Amino acid sequence: MKLNHINLYSHDTEADRAMFERYFGLRTLVVRGSKMAILQDDGGLVLIVNQFSSKPAGFSYPESFDVLHVGFIQETREAVDALHARLVADGWDPQAPRNTHGAWAFYFRARGGYFIEVTTRTPVRPEEAWPDSDRD
């Protein structure tokens, strides 16, 4: 299994995006105004800095949520379902898998209080891709 992404709440996504690019070598994949920036490191790990005051239509975290979560990628919908079944069998209480952001995913609360997301790849719409030509 491969760690896919880390999602962090940010009070200033634009400043954080610039910091991660400048000092840590991440590259920007997607910017959604001043509310979200999606970056990636050389190893493929995705870091999301996000203000959750406005969420994409149809998206919601579990009722009592912590905005910080760690995401793990699975290659297929069947792999997501299989991991969900293992968690249920071991006494965890994950959400039922569902379509989220164009991917098949579920969340569950870790013992430490934050959430874990298990998901298939989320497609990036062409209009969201961050153009390399606009970078310094």
Provide the residue ranges of all domains of the chain, joining segments of one domain with +. 2-134
- Per-residue pLDDT of 11-63, as tens digits, reads 788 988 988 898 878 899 999 888 889 999 999 999 898 876 655 555 555 55
In a 13 Å sphere around the CA of 19, the CA atoms on its Cβ side amount to 9
CATH no., domain 2-134: 3.10.180.10
104 confidence band (pLDDT: 50, 70, 90): very high
The answer to whether the pTM exceeds 0.85 is no
Measuring CA to CA, which residue among 63, 56, 61, 57 is closest to residue 71?
A: 61
pLDDT tens sequence across 70-101: 788 899 999 999 999 999 999 999 999 999 87
pLDDT at residue number 108: 86
